[in-house]
A and B are shown apart, each in its own frame.
Chain A
Amino acid sequence: MCPTKFLPQPYFRISTDFAILTVSDRSLEIYEPSGNFLDLVDWESRNKAAQLLAKKDERAEGELIMKTKDSPYALVDVSVVWDKSEGHIICLQKDHRLAELESIVEKHRLRLAETNLELLEKKEQVEKSLNEIKSLSCPFIKLTKGTALVPLFGNLDQKLIQQNEERIMHKAHDGDYEDILFDFNGVGTLTDEGVDAFIMLIKELQIMGISPSIIGIKPNHAFYLNRSPAKLDVPFLNSLSKAFKAIM
């Protein structure tokens, strides 16, 4: 009887072509019976295994991926010693030691991902309400059959115009309007890009045959409007009643 049968670890005795000659009982508990040691090794660890097993003059050690009864890719610490034409191999499974480390890493990763996702959702919500606010900041009000009032609220920036220009153009066109009054009474500050975008909108309305005019301009607005290289060719009126008189 062979004493290695009772070794408390998976043990293999192999020939020079890696054929399995004897194993310990522990080996049979963990691995399927096999004729060749390389058949127990994952296909992408076979080159490494062959190199490890080829070192005949010294004890060799290294990690291999092996197929066990529990897993097709278990991480195993393999050590081998050769005695003439026979190799003696011990295979210690490593997964349970790494598993703890892995679960900690995984927890951190999840925490991070969750936080990111939560933030992302909040950001999406905020962006959505911001867009809604921008649309509300630019209502389109019908005054008479041919005249509409567009009061602007908040800051006149590129976003405000971009968000609303299409809607204004459509309504102006579909409603057959001749005059559109932009009311600046609710406008805070202006940006250069916002002014440029606004002037573009005015020009497009004019091309459509509509006469835009501006009411409620304050001195600081005028400064920005005049600073733009593109010149505004529209009447500036300081109140709605004046505007009506001018139109009627």
Chain B
Amino acid sequence: MHEHGAALAQLLLEGNQDEAWEYINEYRKKGKDSLYIYEHIITAGMGHIGSLWETNKISVADEHLATSTCDFLLARYQMEKKKEQNPSNSKKAMFLCVESEQHYLGIKMASQLFSEAGWTTRFHGPNLPLEYAKKTAVDWQPDVICLSFSILYHAEHLNPYIAELEKLPNRPIVMIGGRLLSHYEFSRYGSKKTIFMKNLEDVRDWIKRHPPGVKSSVSY
């Protein structure tokens, strides 16, 4: 896992889209699934970039370049996966980062796992204020709304987002994820219904228990 981190980080920092693609495509062709590629290669790569910054070897400007290369990588990977994917089914999930939150790569991976399992998804990216989130959710009526945050100060948004979204007329399930969840307990910001996900493995298991073809009103 560490060697993946360093190897991919290098390519992302160079902005080397083609070789970065080759790097993950090799593993895809060898039969590694999306969970492995997202968690053990791409997340590890971005994590390594974080430690390079912490040891003063790169700057935030470098992180910007790496991020856009990584974003491209995810889009290309999903395009490739779409060819073998089940057609999207009846269940819908929407994805967004809470207000002010710019770290969207993680939730983008989560959204791609849902699509791959046959869910109809909408990805709204970083920084979606609650008002917009509510409006979209009222119109589109997703079964699940996934939120992400990475900056500790943004945890204060969880409470209003969760409360407001859970009481929408179609009673969506609200799911929370982000890097801090594997270290700290955030359940006090949610209700009994809210789901807090520690990593993508949990997400995969949850998706398995909730196949998109089966409509059920409440279950988690």
Contacts and interface: CB of A to CB of B under 8 A. Distances in A.
A211 B116 CA distance: 42
B53 A63 contact: yes
Interface stretch (A1-9, A44-52, A84-92, A191-199): A44-52
A105 B64 contact: yes
A230 interface: no
A120 B121 CA distance: 10
B53 A72 contact: no
Interface string B34-65: 00000000000000000001111001110010
A75 B64 contact: no
A51 B56 contact: yes
B125 A73 contact: no
Given A48-B56, A51-B56, A52-B56, A101 B61 contact: yes
A98 B122 contact: no
Interface in A50-69: 51-52, 62-63
A170 interface: no
A98 B55 contact: no
Contacts of A72: 153
B56 A105 contact: no
A141 interface: no
A72 B153 CA distance: 8
B140 to A, nearest CB: 10
B68 interface: yes
Contacts of A98: 60-61, 64
Nearest to B153: A72
Contacts of A52: 56
A63 B59 contact: yes
B163 interface: no
A109 interface: yes
Interface residues of B, number: 18
A73 B153 contact: yes
A113 B153 contact: no
Contacts of B64: 98, 101-102, 105
Interface string A101-119: 1100110011001000100
Interface string A67-100: 0000011010000000000000000001000100
Contacts of A73: 151, 153
A43 B125 CA distance: 26
Contacts of B189: none
A142 to B, nearest CB: 31
Contacts of B153: 72-73
Interface in B94-151: 122-126, 151
Contacts of B71: 109
A73 B100 CA distance: 12
A47 B60 contact: no
A117 B121 CA distance: 10
B125 A48 contact: no
B156 to A, nearest CB: 11
B198 to A, nearest CB: 19
A45 B152 CA distance: 13
A235 B124 CA distance: 56
Interface in B61-86: 61, 64, 68, 71
A47 B124 CA distance: 34
Nearest to A94: B60
Contacts of B53: 48, 63
6 contacts: A48-B53, A48-B55, A73-B151, A98-B61, A105-B68, A106-B126
Interface of B: 53-56, 59-61, 64, 68, 71, 122-126, 151-153
Task: Please list the 10 inter-chain residue pairs (A to B) with the smallest Cβ-Cβ separation, ordered nearest first.
Answer: A62-B56, A72-B153, A48-B54, A63-B59, A113-B125, A75-B60, A63-B60, A73-B151, A105-B64, A98-B60
